A = this chain, B = another copy of it.
Amino acid sequence: MAYTVIAEELREALAKDDLQTMEQLVADMQPADLAEFIQEHPVDINLKLLSCLPIKQRAETFGYFSENDQRELAEHMDESTLANLFIHMNSDERADLFNLLEEELKADLMRRLARNEREDLRRLSSYEEGTAGSIMTSDYVAVPAQSSVAQAFDIVRSTAPDAETIYDIYSIDHMGRLMGATSLREMILARTTARMDALMTTELISATVDTPQEEVAKLISRYDLLALPIIDNDARLVGIVTYDDAMDVAEQEATEDIHKGASVGRLDDGFGRARLRDLYRTRIVWLVLLVFGNIFSGMGIALFETTIAAHVALVFFLPLLIGSGGNAGAQASTLMVRGIATGDVGVSDWARLLGRELLVAGALGLTMALAVSPIGFWRGGEEIAFIVGTAMISVVVLGSLIGICLPFILNHLGWDPATASAPLVTTLIDAAGVILYFSIAAAVLDLPGLF
């Protein structure tokens, strides 16, 4: 059933307090759908819905909820219900939930876990946010490298109910070091007497617990992996990150890049649910910084006060020229930043890309100059048409070059190239464009200029 249909029926069942229908509907619902449904409802209703689910399914569904929803629900559960849920969750989601809770509650939950699970939780919850360690799960299947396929199958069968994926089977040595990996497909096709170490791939893609999560997502996407094994500093296998988590990370990173492209800072919640305070905080910093950037444009204008006073008509074309330069520059920087992010453009490409951009920007500027010159002619005759046309080409070329170079320069300085946002590039080009435009005007009109 489509989500909208189920959601409607569930709303009706809630209104009638029809527990039986609720149980049926909730049992058939996809965890992602239930996670969306509970966002619209108050915590007491959501606790009731959750209690309709058998504990295993409840634990799985809980992991789909947003951090805020998880925290709120956990705070409103009685302790034994929470503990029961906690014990049944996947290791990685459990660690994430654990990090959201109050110290007192943490200690209590810890006590209720078996010893090996307790250590597992302590380890998983200790990794810094944004690293492979913080998103990996310890629910993977590992077998001794020297075991036979038949022995490995026994291990797979006994681990299957809890493992996040059983489709990649990792071979380890007696120290727990990662030796290789075998897909379940290969195991099914192999003779049961074959040895795993003969079957396994040793040219393995892996990452360490400290690898940044966006790097992990990129590896999984580039090499089409189902899961990426994560090793510690002694090359011991300590977890895996599965493709579905990589997809979430990739979406999150794309959102962050898109926001950065408009000078918006990191927002933990989605825009629709973010707190007003957070929205203010993520936006004000760059806005104020750019105010001071824009003051340079104003100062540029002040330098040409006599030029302007003599030809007020020049101001008419000011937004047009600096706007066009800013737009071309924003295009160039956006293409560049995304190219660097997807790996399509390398840092060594710098000179080649600059040369290409010079050609493209020249053509763009020429086209736009042809578009505006007639308006210049109409407003102020030949001279103005010439000034506006020349200024247009110069501003568009300059803007595009700033747009291409800035991400590279930032990258070189160790900054995120995405800091070269459209607003930053536009602001820089505004200031440069003002000087360029009025200098050309002063020269052509034979008025006192800067130089």
Which residues of A are in contact with B by a Cβ distance under 8 Å?
1, 28, 30, 32, 156-157, 160-161, 166-167, 184-185, 188-189, 203, 205, 220-224, 226, 243-244, 246-248, 250-251, 254-255, 257-259, 261-264, 267, 270-273, 276, 279-280, 283-284, 286-288, 290-292, 294-295, 297-299, 301-302, 305, 308-309, 312-313, 315-320, 322-324, 326-328, 330-331, 333-336, 338-339, 342, 344-346, 349, 353, 356, 359-360, 363-364, 367-368, 371-372, 375, 396, 422-423, 426-427, 430-431, 434
CA gap between A301 and B379 in the complex, in Å = 13
Most B CB atoms within 10 A — which of A188, A203, A331, A364?
A331
Instruction: Tell me the minimal C-beta distance from A63 to chain B in angstroms.
Output: 10
Selected A-B contacts with CB under 8 Å, 25 pairs? A32-B224, A157-B189, A243-B247, A246-B247, A251-B254, A251-B342, A262-B422, A263-B327, A271-B344, A279-B360, A280-B364, A284-B364, A288-B367, A290-B327, A291-B372, A292-B371, A297-B323, A302-B313, A315-B315, A318-B319, A319-B322, A319-B430, A327-B427, A330-B422, A331-B423
CA gap between A302 and B319 in the complex, in Å = 12
Across the interface, which residues of B come within 8 angstroms of A334, CB to CB? Answer: 258-259, 261-262, 264
CA gap between A322 and B251 in the complex, in Å = 32
Instruction: Tell me the minimal C-beta distance from A382 to chain B in angstroms.
Output: 19
Instruction: Tell me the minimal C-beta distance from A434 to chain B in angstroms.
Output: 7
CA gap between A338 and B279 in the complex, in Å = 15
Interface contact A291-B423, CB-CB below 8 Å? no
Q: Which of B188, B243, B359 is within 8 Å of A157, CB to CB? A: B188
Most B CB atoms within 10 A — which of A189, A271, A301?
A271
Instruction: Tell me the minimal C-beta distance from A288 to chain B in angstroms.
Output: 5
Q: Which residue of B lies closest to A258 (CB)?
A: B338
Q: Which of B28, B166, B363 is within 8 Å of A188, CB to CB? A: B166
Interface contact B323-A272, CB-CB below 8 Å? no
